[in-house]
Amino acid sequence: MAKGAKEDRFKGHDYYNVDGLLSEDHLLARDAVRDWVKKEVSPIIEDYSNRAECPHHLFKGLAEIGAFGPSLPEQYGGGGMDEIAYGIIMQELERGDSGIRSMASVQGSLVMYPIYKFGSEEQRLKYLPKLGSGEFIGCFGLTEPDHGSNPSGMVTNIKDDGDHVILNGAKMWITNSPVADVAVVWAKDESGIIRGVIVEKGMPGFSAPEIHGKWSLRASITGELVFEDVRVPKSNILPGVQGLKGPLSCLSKARYGIAWGAIGAAMDCYDSALRYSLEREQFGKPLAGFQLTQKKLAEMITEITKAQLLAWRLGTMANEGKATPGQISMAKRNNVHMALEIAREARQIHGGMGITNEYPIMRHMMNLETVLTYEGTHDIHLLITGMDVTGINAFK
């Protein structure tokens, strides 16, 4: 074992030195975000989460640390970095809270990315700088009340009206919708083809009521999108894509970020469990001295390490443009499930204290229940892998 490993016990929990695979730029980005989370997120997050309130003021700070679209080009409001930088930034944000990582995932991967990738130059110049700087908040509307895992069945639609389209329908479970200035909405045209439409706050007939009563992702605001004969200029339709592959390719970007992000939540739970087990004594010795506690801790760090390596390899393939949707699904599913299991084990190590907000465990655990479901559920990702390895589509 390398000298100094013991002193580094609490330093990021990078057991296999994945840091050694990162460049100077990755490490600088990682440290900047880690410091920002410690200063701006950790001191307030339990309180906001407790009150089920979104810390909106963090949007500007997220923009300043380059959390919105880290791998998008700088001239379009992104960070101009690579996919691993994007991943490691998501990891550090989710070490703070999944809801804070969500803010960045939605803004960068689900709003800026489709406008950059499928938008006209005019659309890019109009929206991306404001989204990149946090002046505008964006949201992404795919899920509907009756179409979650099967977005191809969506009923939200646009009808031709000269130089406008008329948008009708509703979207459900939309992160940031009540506070969003722009929404990238997926709707079917009169031929039944899915199109991306940029809808702006204030367009008559458009509303975004908040969804209340969530026990998960409480520091993130979630709502509906309701469209009643909304007249949207045709110039707001994304010209560069048609069909479900439009929203699904945005999801590939965001799912990739979640595969990294979940590791951050797991590391924070592990960190808390390790510290607590070394401090808390029962039967005359620290909890960490019992074999059953050591089993839990050893399994946690093993699973975190495997997840880091999965994410890192996925990142190198993503940098070459070779990460497939199936590979991304495997990493999202594995890493989120891993983080949730670690949160549950960490909760046990904290005993009764584990259910309180003195420790971050329950908050992470409750958040991860959403992360397990959004961006494609745990089982949907399993079926995507199943389809990939068998060549048989179980959805049809």
Binding site for ligand FAD (CB under 6 A): 106, 139-143, 148-149, 173-175, 217, 222, 370, 373-377, 379-380, 383, 395
Binding ligand TGC (rule: CB under 6 A), the pick from 80, 380, 385, 386 is 380
- DSSP 8-state assignment for residue 391: S
Give one DSSP letter per residue of 20-66, joined into a string.
GGS-HHHHHHHHHHHHHIIIIIHHHHHHHHHTT---TTHHHHHHHTT
Parallel, antiparallel or unpaired: strands 138-141 and 281-282: unpaired
- C-beta of residue 266 within 8 angstroms of C-beta of residue 303: yes
The entry of ligand TGC, ligand FAD, none near residue 372 (CB within 5 to 8 angstroms by kind) is none
Stretch that binds ligand TGC, among 10-18, 114-122, 185-193, 372-380 (CB under 6 A): 372-380
- C-beta of residue 171 within 8 angstroms of C-beta of residue 143: yes
User: Between residues 37 and 349, which has the closer beta carbon with respect to ligand TGC?
Assistant: 37
Helix (H, G, I), strand (E, B) or coil at 295: helix
Stretch that binds ligand TGC, among 36-44, 102-110, 162-170, 286-294 (CB under 6 A): 102-110
The entry of ligand FAD, ligand TGC, none near residue 252 (CB within 5 to 8 angstroms by kind) is ligand TGC
- C-beta of residue 369 within 8 angstroms of C-beta of residue 292: no
Q: Which amino acid is at 306?
A: K
- Closest approach of Cβ 16 to ligand FAD, in Å? 32
384 binds ligand TGC (CB under 6 A): yes
**According to CB under 6 A, which residues from 148 to 187 bind ligand TGC?**
149-152, 175
The entry of ligand TGC, ligand FAD, none near residue 379 (CB within 5 to 8 angstroms by kind) is ligand FAD
The Cα–Cα gap between 61 and 11 comes to 24
Beta strands in the chain (DSSP E): 138-141, 157-161, 164-175, 182-188, 194-200, 206-207, 222-233, 281-282, 285-286
User: Between residues 41 and 217, which has the closer beta carbon with respect to ligand FAD?
Assistant: 217
User: Between residues 117 and 147, which has the closer beta carbon with respect to ligand FAD?
Assistant: 147
The Cα–Cα gap between 240 and 246 comes to 9
The entry of ligand TGC, ligand FAD, none near residue 141 (CB within 5 to 8 angstroms by kind) is ligand FAD
Burial of residue 266 (CB within 10 Å: 0-12, 13-18, 19+) is: buried
Site string for ligand TGC, 122-141 (x = CB under 6 A): ------------------x-
- Is residue 228 part of the annotated active site? The answer reads no
Binding ligand TGC (rule: CB under 6 A), the pick from 37, 81, 89, 106 is 106
Tokens describing residue 62: 């997220």
Interface with ligand TGC: number of residues (CB under 6 A): 26
Cα distances from 381 to residues 42, 134, 339, 391, in angstroms, run 31, 31, 16, 15
The entry of ligand FAD, ligand TGC, none near residue 68 (CB within 5 to 8 angstroms by kind) is none
385 binds ligand TGC (CB under 6 A): no
Which of 94, 224, 345, 375 is catalytic? The answer is 375
The entry of ligand FAD, ligand TGC, none near residue 243 (CB within 5 to 8 angstroms by kind) is ligand TGC
327 binds ligand TGC (CB under 6 A): no
Catalytic residues, which ones?
Answer: 375
